[in-house]
Structure 1
Amino acid sequence: MNKRNIVLLFIAIGVIASIAYMLTSADDQEVYFESIERERDKQFKFLRYSPESPLDEEQKKVLNTLTFYPIDAAYRVRAKLEPVEDRKMIEIPMTDGSIEKYIKHSYAVFDLQGKSVKLLLLQSKNESDMRNFFLAFADETSGVETYGGGRYLNLRQDGKNSILIDFNLAYNPYCAYNPDFACPLPPKENIMDLAIKVGEKDYVK
């Protein structure tokens, strides 16, 4: 094989590899979008049909859909976990003025929208799996397009010193649907000067 043919062969291999990469990426993105849509559908069905739903019977009858921002993979981030030095129980205020105790466990540190973000991860005092965390946050959409009391994420540590945070899965607390429920408010560490325009929007009757 002469030099020209070798060069052409390498070019062809490069083109094939690029096409394969783009197709794989497109397939991965489609699978990712479908997974988010499935979670949204599960959330709707729970609110609409479950006896444990925060909606009353009249609300259930008229609930046809939930409102979400478009899915954006840029809000799916890998965060570094920084353990809290003095891990202790703290009191988190609730929407009804009461308090609930959580373990102040770790900080999740990552970059988003060109800014460095550091959020506090909490753990229920009754949590049996030490890799599960609770994240309550508020952002610049809170009280405008999303629920004023913030939104939640349930997280699971999936790396030795890191955790995947997908804000596309952000959901409303029960009190967004029914004020008879008391819900934890985001701690001050988790009030972001960013607009998180993914996840669930505010519920409107």
Structure 2
Amino acid sequence: MKKIILLSILFVSALSCAQDKQPLLGDTEHQKEQNAEFKDALKSPLTEKDRKTFRALDFFKFDSTYVVTANFKSTPNQTPFEMATTTDRKPMYVKYGELSFVLNGKDCKLNIYQNLELVKREGYEDHLFLPFIDQTNGEESYGGGRYLDTSTPKGNTMVLNFNEAYNPYCAYSPRYSCPIVPLENSLDVRVEAGVKAYGKH
């Protein structure tokens, strides 16, 4: 009898835990990974209060239109510079190259950068940083622009997946110091892909 009662308690407990653990939301694996990170107390940029009620980020619907192959032009021997941030922090970057591509019928051009401190870390030796502003900023998407992370190309082209564009952590909490998108990386086109503005539904 005691064994039956114990098994019943364990079953109810397991069922309760299963009900508490909600499935990850997201239309793609990338979106699910992002939502998992935002739920994780060790990785999430959200405040503790916001994280407790967080369900999922708001994304534009995945659209293959925003997966583009850009022509890459290397820009060697560039002078390193201090990139402005939302705080007094001035990280050193260098312009690594120029990207040109067509998006929604418009010719676009962006500079891509390399963080001189980050590339010294193991696993980030090939990391490149692509901040951009587009015509959705301040409306559907975060007003300060968004970012893409990518790697050094092996040839003269680079695939850009704007569906993976993400917000600076400053969009979620003022405790972060985030690079400000250089004005030359403004796109005169709507990029209806990636993460939308936090808290706007």
Distance in 1 separating the partners of 2:138 and 2:190? 12
Write the deviation string for residues 19-71 of structure 1: whole angstroms up to 9, x where unpaired. Answer: xxxxxxxxxxxxxxxx9711111111111113132112211111011101111
Evaluate the alpha carbon distance shift between residue 130 and residue 83 of structure 1 in structure 2; reply closer, same or farther with a 3 A threshold. Answer: farther
Choose which of 53, 71, 75 in structure 1 pairs with 2:62. 71
1:184 aligns with 2:156: no
1:21-60 matches, within 5 Å, as 37-60=28-51
More strand by share: 1
1:165 aligns with 2:156: no
Distance in 2 separating the partners of 1:190 and 1:130? 23
The answer to whether the Cα contact below 8 Å between 2:91 and 2:115 also exists between their aligned partners in 1 is no
Distance in 2 separating the partners of 1:134 and 1:182? 15
Distance in 1 separating the partners of 2:163 and 2:146? 11
Distance in 2 separating the partners of 1:130 and 1:97? 26
Choose which of 137, 142, 148 in structure 1 pairs with 2:143. 148
Please, what is the CA RMSD of the aligned residues? 1.9
Aligned-pair identity (%)? 35
Which of 127-136 and 137-146 deviates more?
Answer: 127-136
Distance in 1 separating the partners of 2:87 and 2:138? 17
Tell me how far 1:97 sits from its aligned partner.
Answer: 4.8
The answer to whether the Cα contact below 8 Å between 1:36 and 1:168 also exists between their aligned partners in 2 is no
Tell me how far 1:167 sits from its aligned partner.
Answer: 0.2
Tell me how far 1:86 sits from its aligned partner.
Answer: 4.1
Gaps in structure 1 of 5+ consecutive residues: 1-34
Distance in 2 separating the partners of 1:203 and 1:117? 26
More helix by share: 1
Distance in 2 separating the partners of 1:79 and 1:141? 21
Question: Post-superposition, which runs of at least 4 consecutive aligned residues in structure 1 deviate over 4 A?
Answer: none
Question: Normalised by the size of structure 2, how large is the TM-score?
Answer: 0.79
Aligned length: 171
- What SS is found at the alignment partner of 1:194? coil
Distance in 1 separating the partners of 2:27 and 2:41? 20
Tell me how far 1:95 sits from its aligned partner.
Answer: 1.6
